[in-house]
């Protein structure tokens, strides 16, 4: 059996960018033949990509692209299994490239985005190759593209885990940035009351009535109490109704701030990485114990 030296492993790693241990295994399997080892890796990395596809990817980043004139922008969420991979330069480049493609090509959905040309192949082939290279699942989850009525502003927070894209009509750059930061901090569900689903309002109303009834409030007051509760809920969840996070008096709402500046918000989008994705909870100690038991045949 041919001796597999460190320099051989290094050479193969530089050629393929595959993990070091994978390179060593491939060289051993190929009997030290560099060309054959490359073929082995191509086969294995493709297999690794397909195996990784079934694993939950709930980490990742939000990437934002805005045109030079601030009139066209996009925001995209791409997920990975671990936060470590979310900081990988190749992963971040894929995210940035895809956000730029969304702005330029206006794909209808993730499938259409995946089919667009990128790096000599397609977005999907680039993604699959990166999955094989890193050995961890990653997926394009969602994106939004905005043709601004005013001027676009953005804000990325918490290591690219929260992203905001907002279209502000009027005002200035500082105001637009403040609005974007406020959205990231306060996480409104919609611009105003028209964007809040009726079923959510009905739920708030129903809960308020039951609470008031249980506390002994007169039946004649229940509807009025419920209406007050719903209005408070709307102030909490709508951008225009929220108190501006930088308000000096602690009372000025976003609606009042915009009015004072002669501005308005046409639309906004807020992405939080992994929102709504069920993450697998792993008991690491139990997993190690189980592997040890399996290895000992117990």
Give the Cα separation of 64 and 143 in Å (integer): 10
- pLDDT at residue 284 tops 50: no
Mean pLDDT calculated for residue range 252-258: 97
The 10s digit of each residue's pLDDT in 54-81 is 666 689 999 999 999 999 999 999 999 9
Give the Cα separation of 153 and 270 in Å (integer): 12
Provide the pLDDT confidence category of residue 297 given band limits of 50, 70 and 90.
low
- pLDDT at residue 291 tops 60: no
Find which of 10-14, 41-45, 263-267 is predicted with most confidence, using mean pLDDT: 263-267
More confident residue, 56 or 139: 139
- pLDDT at residue 50 tops 90: no
pLDDT at 13: 77
Contact indicator for 250, 276 with CB cutoff of 8 Å: no
Question: Does residue 217 sit in helix, strand or coil?
Answer: coil
User: What is the average pLDDT value for the chain, to the nearest integer?
Assistant: 88
Q: What is the pTM of this model?
A: 0.75
The 10s digit of each residue's pLDDT in 183-240 is 999 999 999 999 999 998 998 889 999 888 988 999 999 999 999 999 999 999 999 9
Give the Cα separation of 14 and 9 in Å (integer): 9
Q: How many CB atoms lie within 10 A of CB 164?
A: 25
Give the Cα separation of 125 and 137 in Å (integer): 14
Contacts of 18 (CB under 8 A, 6+ apart): 12, 26, 41, 45, 133
Provide the pLDDT confidence category of residue 19 given band limits of 50, 70 and 90.
confident
- pLDDT at residue 282 tops 60: no
Question: To 10 degrees, what angle do helices 219-237 and 198-214 make?
Answer: 140
| Angle made by CA atoms 142, 148, 153, in degrees to the nearest 5 | 75
Contact indicator for 78, 98 with CB cutoff of 8 Å: yes
């Amino acid at each position: 059996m041919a001796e597999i030296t460190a320099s051989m492993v290094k050479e193969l790693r530089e050629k393929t960018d595959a993990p070091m241990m994978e390179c060593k295994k491939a060289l051993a399997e190929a009997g030290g033949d560099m060309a054959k080892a490359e073929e082995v890796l191509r086969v294995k990395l493709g297999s690794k990509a397909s195996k990784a596809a079934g694993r939950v990817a709930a980490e990742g980043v939000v990437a934002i692209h805005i045109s030079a004139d601030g009139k066209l922008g996009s925001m995209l969420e791409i997920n990975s299994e671990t936060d470590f991979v979310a900081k990988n330069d190749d992963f971040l480049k894929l995210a940035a490239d895809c956000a730029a493609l969304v702005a330029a090509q206006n794909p209808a959905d993730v499938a259409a985005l995946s089919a667009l040309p990128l790096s000599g192949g397609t977005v999907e082939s680039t993604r699959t190759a990166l999955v094989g290279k890193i050995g961890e699942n990653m997926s394009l989850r969602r994106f939004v593209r905005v043709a601004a009525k005013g001027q676009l502003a953005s804000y990325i927070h918490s290591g690219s885990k929260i992203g905001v894209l907002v279209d502000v009509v009027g005002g200035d750059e500082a105001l637009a940035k403040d609005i974007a930061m406020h959205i990231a901090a306060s996480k409104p569900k919609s611009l105003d009351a028209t964007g809040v689903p009726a079923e959510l309002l009905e739920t708030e109303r129903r809960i308020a009535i039951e609470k008031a009834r249980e506390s002994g409030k007169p039946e004649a007051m229940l509807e009025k109490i419920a209406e007050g509760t719903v209005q408070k809920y709307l102030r909490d969840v709508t951008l225009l109704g929220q108190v501006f996070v930088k308000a000096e008096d602690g009372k000025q709402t976003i609606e009042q701030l915009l009015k004072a500046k002669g501005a308005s918000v046409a639309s906004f989008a807020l992405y939080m990485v992994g929102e709504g994705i069920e993450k697998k909870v792993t008991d690491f100690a139990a997993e190690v114990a189980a592997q040890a038991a399996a290895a000992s045949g117990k």
